[in-house]
Amino acid sequence: MSSVRLEHITKVYPQGGGVKDFSVDIPEGEFFAFLGHSGCGKTTTLRVIAGLETPDKGRVFIDNIDVTREPPEKRNAAMVFQNYALFPHMSVFNNVAFGLRAQKLNKGEIPVRVEEALNLVQLEGMDKRKVTELSGGQQQRVALARSIAVHPKILLLDEPLSNLDAELRYSTRNQLAELQKRLGITAIYVTHDQEEALELAHRIAIMKDGECHQIGTPDEILNRPATEFVEKFMERQKKLLSK
């Protein structure tokens, strides 16, 4: 597990969008979510944490070490993308093993790690299948297995369930929560889905137009909104929960 600290992060794109002056402390083992509409800055912030974007201003700390200018491979973080980013011509085994080979592990350890990761996401016995033969939910779990196989201290998830149908989203969400708890890993999750954020996260950052309107627990976000935007944004979900 690792802690993450962002200090006054700003990353603005020439065409618009990004994040402005964002700060947060995420302790080790927390499930933290960024919640907001498309273009609010949540994915930009996640990419800054991953090292896929360099901030214009501000600093990124992992375990109190400044990693702002460090490449992704120096951050001990793994990312699950919205489109899964799997290799369609490869087997499940080779997709999951991809990051392990980059770590230059000995050959005997790679199959052990792959089997361990596939068991954790309930895909045991699927290692020889092509990813194109799998359902969307199974592909999502392969992407998750690839990320946890490298034993990261931080798991970064960018809208990982958005391509699944409602029923599959619900069951996969429960599996993800269980997995995070079992591994004790620090998880940082990006979503536009209010229910998802409220169910999964210990704390949530509500984002709009690159700015953070509130960071709080689900209860604080719902019942003690810090701004008018947060109150209106969560209004429908609050009504649904009160029924």
Asked if residue 149 lies in contact with residue 184, where contact means CB atoms within 8 angstroms, the answer is: no
Residues 71, 161, single domain; the answer is: yes
CA 5, 10, 13, 18 torsion-angle sign:
positive
Residues 25, 130, single domain; the answer is: no
Q: What is the pLDDT of residue 111?
A: 93
Residues 159, 147, single domain; the answer is: no
Answer yes or no: is pLDDT of 243 > 70. Answer: no
Phi, psi of 53 (to 5 degrees): -130, 145
Q: What is the pTM of this model?
A: 0.91
Name which of 4-8, 22-26, 160-164, 235-239 the model is least confident about: 160-164
pLDDT in tens, 144-180: 999 999 999 999 999 988 877 777 788 888 888 888 9
Residues 46, 163, single domain; the answer is: yes
Q: Which of 100, 130, 151 represents a domain boundary (last residue)?
A: 151
Query: d(Cα 107, Cα 104) in Å, to the nearest integer?
Result: 9
Structural domain of 104 = 84-151
Treating both helix axes as pointing N-terminal to C-terminal, what angle do 92-102 and 109-120 enclose, rounded to 10 degrees? 120
Answer yes or no: is pLDDT of 23 > 80. Answer: yes
**Would you report the helix, strand and coil content of the chain in percent, each value rounded to 5?**
40, 25, 35
Query: d(Cα 118, Cα 96) in Å, to the nearest integer?
Result: 8
Q: How many domains does the chain have?
A: 2
Residues 61, 173, single domain; the answer is: yes
**Where residue 165 sits, what CATH number does that domain have?**
3.40.50.300
Q: Which of 105, 126, 151 represents a domain boundary (last residue)?
A: 151
Residues 132, 30, single domain; the answer is: no
Residues 170, 102, single domain; the answer is: no
Q: What is the mean pLDDT of residues 213-230?
A: 97
At 26 the three-state DSSP class reads strand
Q: Which of 116, 136, 151 represents a domain boundary (last residue)?
A: 151
Residues 62, 93, single domain; the answer is: no
Q: What is the mean pLDDT of residues 47-74?
A: 96
